[in-house]
C-alpha cells in the first residue's frame, strides 16, 4: 500500500508494455478541504507503474491548505491540471460531487482516452492499481467499470470496508470511456454510484470489483463520515437507496447484513430509518420507471441467488 515501497521489475515491465500499447487513462478528482489526506493520494498516483496521461483535479471551494498543496504538485507534474470552483460554503455530497466531477470532465476530450476514472483524494493506492485494472479490462471486453476494494486502517492493521463484488466503488470508479459515454455518464443525484452500475448491466456489461493484493487500497476516511458523522452518512445511504428505487425487503436484508460493521447495529438502524423516513415522507424517486423495474428484478434475484448470480442472470437477459 505504501507508495514509497520499491517497485518490482516485473511491474515496471508490465506498465511499460501498457504504455507502449497506447493505453491512456484520465483521472478526474473532485475535492474540497482534503489537506489531511491528499498527499498520500497524490504520491500514490505519481508512483503508479502505469501513470495517467492526465489528471484533472477540481478544487470545489476549499478553505484549508488544499489549493496550496495542489499548486505544489501541479508545478512539479505537467500532467496534473487544476480546476478551481468558488466556495459554496459547505461540503456537498452526492449531486455536488458529480457537479464538481463534470467541471473537470468538461475540460477534456473523453475520446482521447481509452479509460477514465473518478478518483477521490482520500485514498492510498497500491503501486500497480491502474495497471491491473486495465489488464483485467483488456482480458474481458464485457467489463464496463471496475475497481479494487477499500480497506480502513485500524489498530495497526487493515479492515475490509465490505463492498459487493457487483459494483465499482464510488471513490475510484474506473471506466471504459465508450461505456461511460454510452450509459450517459453519472446522474447528478444521490446514489449516482449505484445507478451507473445497474445501467451498465441493462446494456449487457459488467460492473465489478476485486479483492486482490494489487487492488486493495486504503480509504483514509470511512465511508459516509465526511460530512456530519457516520450515522448521518448511513441515513443518507438509506435515502439514496430509497431514491434509486430499492424495495423495503432488500433494504432490510442490506441493513441486517451490516449489523456487525461499525458503528455496530446503530449504523444498520440509521440506514433503515433513512429509507423508512423517505418512504413515509413520500420523497421523490429516480424518474426512470424502466430503471426502477429493472432494479427490483435484480434485487429479487439477489435475495434468492446472491448478487453475483443475480448480476449474471440480468446481464444474460440484457444480451438476449
The three-state secondary structure class of 70 is helix
Q: What contacts 259, CB < 8 A, 6 or more positions away?
A: 265, 268
How does pLDDT run across 207-249, given as a tens digit for each residue? 999 999 999 999 998 655 445 578 888 898 999 999 999 999 9
Q: Of the candidates 306, 280, 287, 184, which has an alpha carbon nearest to the alpha carbon of residue 244?
A: 287
What pLDDT shows up at residue 211?
Answer: 96
The Cα 114–Cα 37 span in angstroms is: 28
Longest CA pairwise span in the chain (Å): 58
User: 295: part of which helix (H) or strand (E)?
Assistant: helix 289-305
* pLDDT over threshold 90, residue 88: no
Question: Between residues 189 and 100, which one has the greater pLDDT?
Answer: 100
How does pLDDT run across 242-276, given as a tens digit for each residue? 999 999 999 999 999 888 877 888 999 999 999 99
Q: Is the Cβ–Cβ distance between 194 and 105 less than 8 Å?
A: no
Q: Which of 69-83, 216-230, 245-259, 279-293 has the lowest mean pLDDT?
A: 216-230
What pLDDT shows up at residue 12?
Answer: 45
What pLDDT shows up at residue 230?
Answer: 82
Retrieve residue 134's grid coordinates.
486495465
- Any bridge partners for residue 28, and if so which? 56, 118
Q: Is the Cβ–Cβ distance between 46 and 125 less than 8 Å?
A: no
* pLDDT over threshold 50, residue 20: no
What pLDDT shows up at residue 228?
Answer: 57
Q: Is the Cβ–Cβ distance between 48 and 127 less than 8 Å?
A: yes
The Cα 267–Cα 255 span in angstroms is: 8
Q: Is the Cβ–Cβ distance between 160 and 40 less than 8 Å?
A: no
91 falls in which pLDDT band (50, 70, 90)?
low
What pLDDT shows up at residue 90?
Answer: 60
Q: What sections of the chain are H helices per DSSP? A: 9-20, 38-46, 66-76, 95-105, 129-139, 177-182, 192-202, 230-244, 248-257, 266-280, 289-305, 307-319
Q: What is the pLDDT of the chain when averaged over all its residues?
A: 89
pLDDT mean over 126-131: 98
Q: Is the Cβ–Cβ distance between 216 and 158 less than 8 Å?
A: yes
Q: Give the whole-number percent of the chain exceeding pLDDT 70.
A: 88
Retrieve residue 250's grid coordinates.
432488500
Is pTM, for the whole model, over 0.85?
yes
What pLDDT shows up at residue 279?
Answer: 96
Neighbours of 284 (CB within 10 A): 10
* pLDDT over threshold 80, residue 304: yes
The Cα 165–Cα 169 span in angstroms is: 9
Amino acid at each position: 500500500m505504501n507508495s514509497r515501497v520499491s517497485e518490482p521489475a516485473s511491474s515496471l515491465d508490465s506498465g511499460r508494455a501498457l504504455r507502449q500499447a497506447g493505453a491512456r487513462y484520465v483521472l478526474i478528482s473532485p475535492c474540497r478541504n482534503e489537506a489531511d489526506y491528499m498527499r498520500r493520494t497524490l504520491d500514490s498516483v505519481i508512483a503508479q507503474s502505469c501513470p495517467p496521461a492526465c489528471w484533472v483535479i477540481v478544487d470545489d471551494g476549499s478553505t484549508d491548505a488544499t489549493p496550496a498543496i495542489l499548486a505544489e504538485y501541479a508545478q512539479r507534474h505537467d500532467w496534473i491540471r487544476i480546476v478551481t470552483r468558488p466556495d459554496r460554503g459547505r461540503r456537498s455530497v452526492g449531486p455536488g460531487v458529480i457537479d464538481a466531477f463534470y467541471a473537470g470532465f468538461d475540460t477534456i476530450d473523453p475520446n482521447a482516452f481509452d479509460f477514465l476514472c473518478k478518483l477521490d483524494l482520500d485514498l492510498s493506492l497500491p503501486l500497480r492499481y491502474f495497471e491491473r485494472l486495465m489488464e483485467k479490462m483488456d482480458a474481458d471486453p464485457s467489463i464496463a467499470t471496475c475497481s479494487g476494494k477499500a480497506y480502513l486502517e485500524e489498530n495497526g492493521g487493515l479492515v475490509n470496508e465490505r463492498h459487493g463484488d457487483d459494483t465499482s466503488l464510488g471513490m475510484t470508479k474506473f471506466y471504459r470511456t465508450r461505456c461511460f459515454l454510452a450509459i450517459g455518464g453519472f446522474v447528478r443525484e444521490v446514489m449516482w454510484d449505484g445507478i451507473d452500475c445497474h445501467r451498465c448491466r441493462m446494456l449487457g456489461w459488467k460492473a465489478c470489483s476485486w479483492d486482490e493484493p494489487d487492488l486493495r487500497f486504503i480509504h483514509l476516511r470511512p465511508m459516509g463520515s465526511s460530512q456530519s458523522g457516520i450515522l448521518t452518512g448511513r441515513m443518507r445511504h438509506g435515502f439514496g437507496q430509497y431514491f434509486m428505487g430499492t424495495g423495503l425487503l432488500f433494504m432490510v436484508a442490506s441493513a441486517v447484513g451490516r449489523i456487525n460493521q461499525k458503528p455496530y447495529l446503530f449504523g444498520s438502524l440509521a440506514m433503515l430509518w433513512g429509507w423508512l423516513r423517505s418512504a413515509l415522507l413520500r420523497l421523490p424517486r429516480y424518474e426512470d420507471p424502466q430503471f426502477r423495474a429493472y432494479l427490483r428484478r435484480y434485487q429479487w434475484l439477489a435475495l434468492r441467488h446472491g448478487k453475483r448470480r443475480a448480476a449474471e442472470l440480468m446481464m444474460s437477459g440484457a444480451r438476449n
